[in-house]
Structure 1
Amino acid sequence: MTIAHYIHRLPADYDIGLIRSRAKERGALWNDVPELHFKGFLLRERGRFGAIASSYSSLYLWRTDEAFRNFLVSGRYKVVTDSFGRADIQTRFALDARRGRADDARFITKQELSIPLDADLTAAFASEIARNREVAEQQGTVAAIIGVDPQTWTFTRILVSEQEPTRESDAAAYEVLHLARPLLDSLPSAGSR
């Protein structure tokens, strides 16, 4: 599985209502995309949950790298570049992705953790996968994903939740404007091995 995330920083005077309308209009177009576990239309609004600027972003969990490739070459990303320009797309290999018991995706948090240079990678991977499975079982979890960037040796923890993020979290918090979820229910469920 491939995690893909891109962010468009918005000008300070940008009308956030336009972003909410865009997500509402375009969200349903993603509800039946083959090979897509989910796509989150996300808003990070200045002054909320620690955000110092507003941004609009999309977060995907693709079933295969070929599906992500097809997204890029089919012209689907052109809709984004035509409106907001070309953003860097952060990609990660998903080490584990689980469906939680909750259903109402209201927030997504994303946390980046550097893997220490002298860490035992096998043990670090096993620990993060075990942690992700525990998170998937927590109340309010819609989905939990752990990814890795082997170029920078960074873990990315993603939580799709119905619960508002806590202030103590060092994760970036996003409001979910729409969650297209064609294959979300095909992920292993919380508690399964």
Structure 2
Amino acid sequence: MIIAHYSHRLPANYDTGLIRTRAKERGPLWNTIPELYFKAFLLRESGRYGAIANSYSSLYLWRQDDAFRDFLVSGRYKVVTDAFGRADIQTRFALDARKGHAHHARFVVREDLAIPLDADLSAVFASEVERNREVAEQSTTVATAVGVDTQNWTFTRIVLLEHEPAASEAGTSYEVLHLAKPLLDTLPFANAA
């Protein structure tokens, strides 16, 4: 599995209603994409949920790297570049992904953590997978994933939530404008082995 995330910073005076409309119109086009667990259309608005600027982003969980490649070469990403330019697409190899108990994702929280240089990698990988499964057990979790960036040695934790994140919650919060979830229900349930 591959986690892919990109973001576009928007001007301070940008009408975020245009982004909401875009997500409403384009979101359903992703509801049946093969090999896609989910795609979240995300918005951060200045002054809300800790954001100091406006940004629009997309977050994907792909079943296989071939599906991510097909997204790039089929012209689906061209729609984005035509409207917003080319963003850096951050990719992570997913170590674990789970479906939670909740059903309606309203927010996403992303947290990036450095892996210490002297860490026992097998132990920290196992610990992150276990933590991911525990987060999936929480009643407000729709889905959760943890990925690793082996170039910069960081973990990326992704949680799709039904409730508004608490101000004290670690990570960056995003409002979900649309969640396409073709294969979300095929992810292992929170406590599945």
Shared fold, TM over 0.5: yes
| SS, match of residue 3 in structure 2 | strand
For residues 74-117 of structure 1, the C-alpha deviation after alignment (integer angstroms, 9 at most, x for no partner) is: 00000000000000000000000000011000000000000000
Inter-partner Cα distance in structure 2 for 1:78 and 1:14? 22
Aligned-residue Cα RMSD (Å) equals: 0.5
Aligned twin of 2:75: 75
Q: Does 1:39 align with 2:39?
A: yes
| SS, match of residue 61 in structure 1 | strand
Inter-partner Cα distance in structure 2 for 1:112 and 1:169? 13
Matches within 5 A, 1:79-158: 79-158=79-158
For residues 23-70 of structure 1, the C-alpha deviation after alignment (integer angstroms, 9 at most, x for no partner) is: 000000000000000000000111111111010000000000000000
| SS, match of residue 173 in structure 1 | strand
Matches within 5 A, 1:142-181: 142-181=142-181
**Offset at 1:156?**
0.3
Which consecutive residues of structure 2, in runs of 5 or more, have no partner in the other structure?
Answer: none
Inter-partner Cα distance in structure 2 for 1:63 and 1:170? 27
Which consecutive residues of structure 1, in runs of 5 or more, have no partner in the other structure?
Answer: none
**Offset at 1:170?**
2.7
| SS, match of residue 67 in structure 2 | helix
For residues 1-42 of structure 1, the C-alpha deviation after alignment (integer angstroms, 9 at most, x for no partner) is: 000000000000000100000000000000000000000000
Aligned twin of 1:61: 61
Inter-partner Cα distance in structure 1 for 2:101 and 2:139? 7
Inter-partner Cα distance in structure 1 for 2:170 and 2:14? 26
Taking structure 1 as the reference length, the TM-score comes to 0.99
Inter-partner Cα distance in structure 2 for 1:121 and 1:181? 32
| SS, match of residue 20 in structure 1 | helix
Taking structure 2 as the reference length, the TM-score comes to 0.99
User: Any runs of at least 4 consecutive aligned residues in structure 1 with deviations exceeding 2 A, and if so which?
Assistant: none
Inter-partner Cα distance in structure 1 for 2:152 and 2:69? 22
Aligned twin of 2:27: 27
Inter-partner Cα distance in structure 2 for 1:164 and 1:170? 13
Inter-partner Cα distance in structure 2 for 1:129 and 1:57? 25
Inter-partner Cα distance in structure 2 for 1:26 and 1:59? 14
Aligned twin of 1:4: 4
| SS, match of residue 77 in structure 1 | helix
